[in-house]
Structure 1
Amino acid sequence: MRDKLPHLPKNFPSTVFTAAAFNLGGKVRTFKHRNSLNWAFGWCAITALGEFDPARSGQLILWELKLVLDFPAAATVLIPSAVITHSNTPIADGDTRMSFTQYTAGPIFRWVENGCRTEKEMQVMDPLSYAEMQTRKDTAYLRRLGNFSTVDELLEKTV
């Protein structure tokens, strides 16, 4: 995407994400949720910050995977936050926990794929491309799933 819009400034010099959120409340915790507006086929980087015992508070819960993970300060996890329901456990008394999250909203990808215009603008300005894009919508998710590694591919690399 960067090569199509080189004039846009980056949030940070070394990130691939277009947005970031600082959660600095001191006892930051999230309730069970999905970030449905994030790019479903991309990653969300969550970094835990603060001083807490990750074995007793602030664990990361990935609901569909049935996982509860110790998630210590300074650790970063990459998850597809639009499709994996996630939360974290409450913070113990005396502990502090904050987070820094980086992500990219799905509409940004659609806007770039549409030639840096909304679907309505594309429909008016380029009806042929709009019609072609509409025919590809039903199978778009299959093409994008190819961006993810399979378990077999991951295991193959470690042997």
Structure 2
Amino acid sequence: MPLSCDFTVYNWNGVPQPVLDREDRVLLVLGGFPPNATDWKEAVTDDAAREMENAATKIYTEPKWRCKAEATAAKTPCRGPHAAESVGASMGSGQPFPMMLQHSVVNTTIFAGLFGLKCFERIAGWTNTGFAPLLHEYYRQTLDDLFTWDAGQDREKHLRCNFLRRFSVFAAATFNFGPHTVTFPHIDFGNLAWGWCAITALGWFNPDLGGHLILWDLKLIIHFPPGSTILLPSAILRHLNVKIQPGESRYSFTQFTPAGLFHWVYNRFRTDRDINTAPNTSPEEHERHWADRMQRWQEGVKMYHVWDKAPNAVRA
């Protein structure tokens, strides 16, 4: 898909700032990294990239993970030809109830080790600070309700958080192991329509020459330096990132909550099929249920923070 000349290039340097829509709502946040964290590159950016590289060599068999990326490329995946693994709670694809994404015991241990590292805890904690307050509260309350419900279920395997709850309100995460994480234009249709996911760029590459984030629908090209985080509504905005230079490495760490989990909690811990097939659900209740769902988008957009006094804001 060639770019037209009406795209705007934004030379972002990682300083936190909002991106506003025409009604001054914060549509997405260029979260960057903490301005006063002088050790961020060494203790967070570089450490996280090294730990992802080390983990990939254990997860993927010899000759290491580059063969995984090449094999994936032959299948033309929707997001891009790179090795990636998602970890956390999931709901969808015919699941009768929320459950954890499945991995081998060895890989589960590796992922738990990554989540327990200080560098990833700091990324998750910093991401939390960039959330629109009402949207953050909605994510937090949904996760609280979900885990309260799960704790009351009589079964062997229960849901688990990737991070301690004080660090993150997301239910899942994806490690894009690369080693050259370059994505095709896509939307994350499994995420909440008005919700945000958090993308953190990692690795060793020149952000002036590659790795840019392209928000296709906004016609915006953003420099995306290593160690910085961007929160965006990935279910409605087509996005991709461009190639990096030969000899460079780029990874990314993405945090999100599947829309199916919100739907499950919203339905009072039932699927739509459960509601539709319940013998005691009246036609009037069915009608109210679907009418109520039609209003969810409008209610969701109200969670976007209105910020009319942001001198450094980017306009979408």
Instruction: Tell me whether 1:2 sits opposite 2:2 in the alignment.
Output: no
Provide the residue aligned with 1:114 in structure 2: 267
Q: 1:100-120 deviations in whole A, cap 9, x for unaligned?
A: 111111111111101111011
Letter in 1 for 2:188: N
The SS at the match of 2:227 is coil
Cα distance in 2 for residues equivalent to 1:116 and 1:45: 26
Letter in 2 for 1:3: D
Deviation (angstroms), 1:157: 6.4
1:1-159 equivalences under 5 Å are: 1-4=142-145, 5-6=147-148, 7=151, 8-13=159-164, 14-123=167-276, 124=278, 127=281, 130-149=286-305, 153-156=306-309
Question: Gapped runs of 5+ residues in structure 2?
Answer: 1-141, 152-158, 312-316
Deviation (angstroms), 1:131: 4.0
Q: Percent sequence identity over matched residues?
A: 37
The SS at the match of 1:121 is helix
TM-score (norm 1): 0.89
Cα distance in 2 for residues equivalent to 1:157 and 1:68: 21
Cα distance in 2 for residues equivalent to 1:99 and 1:116: 32
TM-score (norm 2): 0.46
Deviation (angstroms), 1:130: 4.4
Cα distance in 2 for residues equivalent to 1:15 and 1:38: 17
Cα distance in 1 for residues equivalent to 2:169 and 2:224: 23
The SS at the match of 1:132 is helix
Question: Gapped runs of 5+ residues in structure 1?
Answer: none
How many residues are matched? 155
Tell me which moved more, 136-145 or 30-39.
136-145
Deviation (angstroms), 1:126: 5.7
Cα distance in 1 for residues equivalent to 2:244 and 2:161: 33
Question: Would you tell me which structure has more helix in proportion to its own residues?
Answer: 2
